[in-house]
Amino acid sequence: MRLVAFDLDDTLSESKSPMKETMGEALADLLDKTQVCIISGGQFGQFEGQVLAHLPERADLTKLHLMPTCGTRYLRFTPVQGWTEVYAHNLSENEKTSAINAVELWAQQLGLWEEHHWGPRIEDRGSQITFSALGQEAPVAAKKAWDPDGSKREALREHISAELGDLEVRAGGSTSIDITRRGIDKAYGMRELETQTGIDLQDMLFVGDRLVPGGNDYPVQELGVPVHAVSGPEDTLAFVTALVPTLDEYPVVSDTAVSGDLARHPARSRRVHIPAVSESTSDRCSCTPSRPPEQD
Ligand SMILES: [Mg+2]
């Protein structure tokens, strides 16, 4: 195994909350042994607040791969430039305009264009347009009370989706609708990761809390990536702690991912990089389970 990928919310940390210090130490230990990726539907800011701010100084960030918004963005770290975007696959201006117009039209038609809201109702996230009926900064209680059975979001989703045939429209959080290109999920991100790093999907391990059908980690399992299901951050911590010692026999591989500007700055690593790993070393650790995922 050459790379371990993690979901963020409810895998490395509680949803929308900072990662615990113990998890930071465990990830730093793991980064000493192998490449690590974090992939989430959230934006980079969420990665900063929940993960990066809680990694210890010793963590080798040059081996960390970040994929916000399901891998429509990809960031790598260099000591000189810090976190740098390698690519961003954004919606075109036409796609954004159509999406925003459809959201406004149907929210008004269906009586869901709320006069009272907290912060902007429509957010351009580059690769995604998000409509939040009560605004981005609405209090949790107000959000939960707005559409408890999901019928408002479903009506809105249906109408917008019919209007935007070539874009994918999904109900997101408790008041929100997300519009993206079709086929953007974590499987998309994992395929991009394979392309960017040159590491075969079969040489990766994905760890997530929503690997059941319908869960947002399930597409990764469907793609055929070896997976490990966890019930939450405590479970992940126990798994990583057990995994790290089993990686001792595997050499740290050189970083094949870095291109362009990133390549000009040598990796900041305290370990000697061994340039080539024979494929015959691939009788992998016993931790690539094929057991069915657990409910969370
Ligand atoms: Mg999750």
Mean pLDDT, to the nearest integer, of 195-218?
94
Give distance in angstroms: CA of 259 to centre of ligand 1.
30
Class of the domain covering 3-72+184-281: alpha beta
Give distance in angstroms: CA of 275 to centre of ligand 1.
34
Q: Is the confidence at residue 243, as pLDDT, over 70? A: yes
Domain ranges of the chain: 3-72+184-281, 93-181
The pLDDT-based confidence of 193 (bands split at 50, 70, 90) is very high
Give distance in angstroms: CA of 8 to centre of ligand 1.
6
d(CA 208, CA 4): 11
Q: For residue 95, what are its two tokens?
A: 């796609």
Give distance in angstroms: CA of 11 to centre of ligand 1.
6
Give distance in angstroms: CA of 208 to centre of ligand 1.
6
Find where tokens 């109408």 sit: 159
The pLDDT-based confidence of 271 (bands split at 50, 70, 90) is very low
- Do 229 and 294 meet the contact criterion of CB atoms below 8 Å apart? yes
Q: Does domain 93-181 have CATH number 3.30.1240.20?
A: yes
Give distance in angstroms: CA of 46 to centre of ligand 1.
13
Give distance in angstroms: CA of 95 to centre of ligand 1.
28
93-181 shares the fold of 3-72+184-281: no
Give distance in angstroms: CA of 37 to centre of ligand 1.
14
Q: For residue 251, what are its two tokens?
A: 């050499």
pLDDT of 16-34, one tens digit each?
899 999 999 999 999 999 9
Mean pLDDT, to the nearest integer, of 128-151?
92
What local confidence, expressed as pLDDT, does residue 253 receive? 52
222 DSSP assignment: H
b (16+ CB within 10 A) / e for 255-271 = bebbeeebeeeebeeee
Give distance in angstroms: CA of 150 to centre of ligand 1.
20
Give distance in angstroms: CA of 136 to centre of ligand 1.
21
Give distance in angstroms: CA of 231 to centre of ligand 1.
10
Cβ within 8 Å of residue 40, ≥6 positions away: 7, 8, 9, 46, 47, 67, 68, 69, 70
Give distance in angstroms: CA of 279 to centre of ligand 1.
32
Give distance in angstroms: CA of 264 to centre of ligand 1.
35
What local confidence, expressed as pLDDT, does residue 250 receive? 58
What local confidence, expressed as pLDDT, does residue 93 receive? 96
Of 202, 227, 236, give the one whose Cα is nearest residue 287. 227
